Amino acid sequence: MLKQAAEFIKECKPASIAIVYHKACGDGIAAAAIVARTIEKLKGKLPKIISYAYNEDFKKLSKELSKYKFAIFVDLAIDRNKDELITLSKSAKVLIVDHHELTNNLNKFGILHVHPKFFWQGNSSKYVGAKLAYDICAEVADISDMCWLAGVGLVHDVGSEDFKEFMNQIYRKFPELKEGKNIYGFESRLGQIVSVITAASYGPQAEKSAVKLCIEAKDPMAILESKYAEARLLMHLKADINKEINYYVKNWRTKAKMFKDINLALYRINSKHNIGSAVSTILSLKNPEVIFVVYKKIGSIIKISTRNQTKRINCDELTKKLAANLTNGVGGGHIPAAGSSFAAKDLKKFLELVPKFVKEMLK
C-alpha cells in the first residue's frame, strides 16, 4: 500500500496537485511539508498546500480541489465525507494518508486510501500522519534529511514511544536534538520544535509561517536558534501562547467542573488563542486517570478537545456521539484523543450530554 501511494506521488505534476492537511496541527503541518518537499525534490517545484478544519465547508473545499488533477489529504479523517470524495474522484485522482479512527474504507471507490489499519498490526493512532507520509515518500526518494519532521508528528501526537527505533534514527542523524528530560516527549529539543510549529494556532499568518518553516528548514536546530524569520515570529507568539496554556493547566482543579463519580473534568477556556488541544493533552498526560473535555467558544461555534490516556472511554466514539446530537456537529479522532465542534446555541445541551454519555459508556 505504501508503494502504491509512492507511485501516486511519482505520477503527480506539481502544478496540478493540491495537498490538504489538518489545520493548525503540528502532525498535519509536518506531514504536508514532507509530501510537498518530496514532490519538490522529485519535480523541482512545490505543489499547492491548503489547510482545512473539520468545521469548515467541505463542499467548498471540494469545489476548489476539482480544479486540480491530484488531491492528497494528509492527517485528516476525511473518509467521513465519503459521498463528496467519490464525486471529487471523478475529476481528480485522490490519495488519503491518515491515522485517525476509520469511518469508511474508500479504496473500493477508486480512491487510494492509506491507513495503518490496512497493513499494520499496531495501534493506528500512534502511526501518525507525518510518519505515514515519511514512510510513503521514503519509497519515492532519499528523504532521510526530513526524518525530523516525522519526529515532530510523533511527538505532537504522542506516538514516539511506539516508534523508539525510528526516533533513535532521528537522533543519530541529528544528535543535537537528543537532549531533554524525556527525548521521546515534549520535554526534549524536538518537543521544543513542536511547540514552535504549533504556534500556528495563533492565526493565518502564523499558520503560513509554520508551513513555510517546515518546508524550508534543512537544519532543525536552526529553528531553535531563530535563524529563520518565520521561527522568530512563531517563537514570539509561542511565548504569549504558553502563558495562556500554563495558566489553564495550573488552575484546572479550581476552574473545571468535576464529576467525581466518573472522574470527568468539563473545562471551559476563554483564551484568545486556539489552545484547547494543547491544554487537554498536557492535562491528560499529567492526570491520565481523568477524562478531560475542554471546550471554547469561537464565534458561533464551540470547539472541544477530549482526552483520556488510560482509554477508560473511547474519545473518538464520545465526540462522534456528541456531534450526532448537536447542531452542525462534527467529531472524531482517536481512542485517547479526539476533537469536535458544534453550534454555540447548543452549549447548554452539550453540557448536559457529556456526563450522560460518559456514564453510559463507562457501563
Q: Which domains does the chain have, with CATH numbers?
A: 2-237 (3.90.1640.30), 251-362 (3.10.310.40)
- The residue among 186 and 210 whose pLDDT is bigger is 210
The pLDDT of 295-307, averaged and rounded, is 92
Joined together, the cell numbers standing for residue 234 give: 512563531
- 330, β-bridge pairs: 341
Residue 20: strand, helix, or coil: strand
pLDDT in tens, 41-62: 999 999 999 999 888 889 999 9
pLDDT tens-digit readout, 324-358: 999 989 888 888 888 899 999 999 999 999 999 99
Q: Mean pLDDT for the chain?
A: 93
Do the beta carbons of residue 292 and residue 307 sit within 8 Å? yes
Candidates 61, 30, 32; CA nearest to 47 is: 32
Residue 238 — pLDDT band, cuts 50, 70, 90? confident
Q: How far apart are CA 154 and CA 299, in angstroms?
A: 31
pTM (predicted TM-score): 0.83
